[in-house]
Amino acid sequence: MAIPLSQNALVVLERRYLKKDRKGKPAEAPEALFRRVARVVASADTKFDPGADLKKTEEEFYKLMTSLVFLPNSPTLMNAGRRLGQLAACFVLPVEDSIDSIFATLRHAAMIHKSGGGTGFSFSRVRPENDVVLSTRGISSGPISFMTVFDVATETVKQGGTRRGANMGILRVDHPDIEAFIHSKTELAKLNNFNISVALTSSFMEALAAEKDYDLVNPRNRKLVRRVSATTIFDQIVKAAWRSGEPGIIFLDRINQANPTPQLGDIEATNPCGEQPLLPYESCNLGSINLAKLVKDAKFDKAKLRRTVRSAVHFLDNVIEVNKYPLPLIETMSRKTRKIGLGVMGFADMLVKLGVAYDGNAAVRRAEQVMTFVSREARKASSELAKKRGNFPAYEGSIFDNAATPYMRNATTTTIAPTGTISIIARCSSGVEPIFAVVYERRVLNGETLFEVHPVFEHVAKQNGFYSEKLVEEIAQTGSIQHIKGIPDKIRRLFVTAHDIAPEWHIRIQAAFQKYTDNAVSKTVNFPRDATPEDIQKVYRLAYESGCKGVTIYRYGSRGRQVLNIGKDQDREAAIVPRTRPVQTTGVTERINTGCGKLYVTINEDHEGICEVFAQMGKTGGCASSQIEAAGRLISLALRSGVKVEAIIKQLTGIRCPSPIWQNGGMVLSCPDAISHVIKHYTNLDAADMPAMMGVCPDCGSALEHEGGCLVCRSCGFSRCS
């Protein structure tokens, strides 16, 4: 039976997952990929039962994946049965307060990134900036300086062209450097390979509620450094998130209340998207059930969900056995707790098929019902595996170490992850997010733009007789159908998108899933452009009161005039005609080193200000020189059309090529990035004074979607966090 893959899914598989030959062409079909994964994962059965029917298990796993009712995380799909063999997505490494420890962790992180994994760190143990260093009688540079070192190392390590380095940096709210940390990503060119989150403690939340001061403590000696207002710090977190989406927040004590193995230590950090809290050196392999595939004729198939959960738990436990771990320490710790994270995707699609609106009490009830069922069945399946294979080795002293649960194979069984690329393969909504857009534009390889229509909406529209190409183009302007004439109210109510939904409903859905999830829930709370910091503050408080373990928010437009795949710029004015270039201009030329060679950038002004920028390589000719010339022409055209120089700098800053280089104590990432350096130097503009921008997909040119604290391209599967 053919796999029901969309054209978009085939593009993603070819770009990201299928084996390639030496010329970079796909060397296997999608069916072969799923067969490869099923065979390798099934082979673990013989470790526990030499007479196991491997062919039967392989076929079970193959059907599980090719029906698109369950898919494992990306590293498993990419690497099972291949030389690398690293199948886990999430890792956490410790950062202790010594140079030896920090650089040992940096080396380990590089090995994980090379193997295709993402890493999380807490920098809370590192002594603050300007603290004493006893061994040298010098002063400490603080945690943020070391985060910068980790960021540069991540940029340098390439992950085989399939997955990109991603980190989570966490700092406790009671660390003396917390204010600097909150604002550490205001410059777009810094910490590009990090998501950052502030770890809020229960004592901080109590001080916040009482509008009192709280202690900032030096982690080196546990001595009080100073007391600060909880309200002041909270306001800084809120305003930074309002401005750019970061930092996120995690509720650290709540995470540790659910720590299944407290005898092994406290949890201090999470993976890059925040859904997987882990102890140092732990890893976790994830997988997601496509809930949309379990609805037929407006009825939910619980029996099929039960079978799927049990097969998926078996699958994920086997992955622990066949995984090739990047470090012996990680293998030891991962086998000690045997954490797995079974989650869901297609939740929004499931609601649509059931006739339930996402932003309503009925959806909250459905979320609780589904996750209660998944959690209960996952633990049953783990318990049954434990009877055959044994408990996880750290069972003694764990939360399961009692008469009620004498058998448990996995310390955790459930996680709600962002499912960016695997949800594209399954052609369903991502994780537990709402539908992002009913229609969005997708760019294909020849530069043509196609419209991707939500399959259920397309079916409903055709069934009700109002589908047309003109309607599709109209919806694509914003991605929403809420203001489109001719669509029945009932259908309009059903197909609400992420930006149609009030932020409070995002939290209520997240809290409903968190209630029955062992680990955490990855979820972005979307805000409209005109949301205030007070609106974000309310959501943060609601998340804490509702039992969430963390929050990621994104205010539409907070990263400047971004190019989103949900429509045209609403603020666009009439056609702009650039002013004529004058005969005579004045300016300067600056030389800057790049990974491609010396670049000479000329900036010229007329009576209205900067009117042109052009650049030339020290060595002429070739494609690079022509592209640099084209960039200069377009920059000049934009300047003479009234585009602010700040916006141009932001678009150029942070663009990367394979050959970054150090220049005057900073990193020059590419020729366009070098041009931005020169313009900033010429204009004395500080990037911190300019709003951050989201931009477009660096791989295919389509626009990016903000999901779970990450940037994801629905066209080609690019993800900044994986």
For the stretch 25-37, pLDDT in tens is 999 999 999 999 9
Residue at 621 is within a domain = yes
- Its domain, for residue 594, covers 586-689
Q: Are strands 340-345 and 439-443 parallel, antiparallel or unpaired?
A: unpaired
DSSP H or E stretch at residue 342: strand 340-345
- pLDDT exceeds cutoff 80 at 720: no
For the stretch 442-495, pLDDT in tens is 766 555 677 889 999 999 999 999 999 999 999 998 899 999 999 999 999 999
Q: For the chain, what is the domain count? A: 1
Q: Count CA within 13 A, CB hemisphere, residue 380.
A: 12
Of 246, 275, 452, 612, the active-site residue reads: 275
Give the model's confidence band at 503: pLDDT under 50 very low, under 70 low, under 90 confident, else very high: very high
| Token pair of 650 as six digits | 């932001």
Known catalytic membership, residue 273:
yes
Residue at 632 is within a domain = yes
For the stretch 396-423, pLDDT in tens is 999 999 888 899 999 999 999 999 899 9
- CA dist 28 and 228 (Å) reads 59
Asked if 287 and 275 count as a contact pair (C-beta separation under 8 A), the reply is no
- pLDDT exceeds cutoff 60 at 76: yes
Closest C-alpha to 502, from 535, 541, 543? 535
Give the model's confidence band at 692: pLDDT under 50 very low, under 70 low, under 90 confident, else very high: very low
- CA dist 303 and 311 (Å) reads 13
* Helix, coil or strand: residue 65: helix
Average pLDDT over residues 163-189: 88
Known catalytic membership, residue 593:
no
Which is more confident, 385 or 598?
385
| Token pair of 637 as six digits | 């055209």
Average pLDDT over residues 542-567: 76
DSSP H or E stretch at residue 599: strand 597-606
- pLDDT exceeds cutoff 80 at 578: no
- CA dist 532 and 377 (Å) reads 42
* Helix, coil or strand: residue 506: helix
- CA dist 76 and 89 (Å) reads 8
Residue at 320 is within a domain = no
Known catalytic membership, residue 221:
no
Residue at 85 is within a domain = no
Residue at 26 is within a domain = no
Average pLDDT over residues 334-340: 98
* Helix, coil or strand: residue 37: helix
Mean pLDDT score of the chain: 89
Give the model's confidence band at 379: pLDDT under 50 very low, under 70 low, under 90 confident, else very high: very high
Residue at 127 is within a domain = no
- CA dist 101 and 95 (Å) reads 7
Residue 90 phi/psi, 5-degree rounding, is: -120, 135
164, 581, 613, 679 from 603: Cα distances, Å: 34, 13, 5, 8
- CA dist 479 and 446 (Å) reads 23
Residue at 680 is within a domain = yes
- pLDDT exceeds cutoff 80 at 716: no
Asked if 409 and 393 count as a contact pair (C-beta separation under 8 A), the reply is no
- CA dist 493 and 497 (Å) reads 10
Asked if 671 and 677 count as a contact pair (C-beta separation under 8 A), the reply is no
Residue at 644 is within a domain = yes
Of 8, 79, 271, 410, the active-site residue reads: 271
Of 273, 548, 710, 713, the active-site residue reads: 273
Regarding pTM above 0.85, the answer is no
User: Helix crossing, 622-640 with 645-652: angle to 10°?
Assistant: 150
- pLDDT exceeds cutoff 70 at 598: yes
